[in-house]
Structure 1
């Protein structure tokens, strides 16, 4: 996993939102992610593919749905970057609100 691939994957608002939702450590189905992030199934799937290819999430097929969670095998240095980005975004959103 490269730092540049991680940052590129997090640079898009929908993907960043998905990572924020997955931060709770549990699995979320693509249907929940698309509803909460107000996007279509095809767009959400493309975004999740980008996150998966960057090594940030893993998926599990559950009948017709795909469930995602943060990659538990994410290298510690990449996890620190991801969490720092998410913390920064959350702090900025609180400051704006």
Structure 2
């Protein structure tokens, strides 16, 4: 019966193993190596000059294209795209 679902779910949740800090953060921290502070990236990659909001938008599109689990959440996502139009679309 439905009347037993909440108490039963509460018991299951209370008995569940609590995540340690490492387990709770799993997947939230990038494992990729980034340039050390002070290093300058090479500019001979054939890139193009863009404004900051365009670079942010391109980076988000690139990441979402490469990894289908990446998503954007927020009240300005979509048609409006925020005040700087970074998340428009």
Question: Which of the two has greater strand per residue?
Answer: 1
Question: Which of the two has greater helix per residue?
Answer: 1
Q: Same fold (TM over 0.5)?
A: no
TM superposition score category, shorter chain reference: under 0.3
TM-score using structure 1 length = 0.24
Q: Which structure is larger by alpha-carbon Rg, 1 or 2?
A: 2
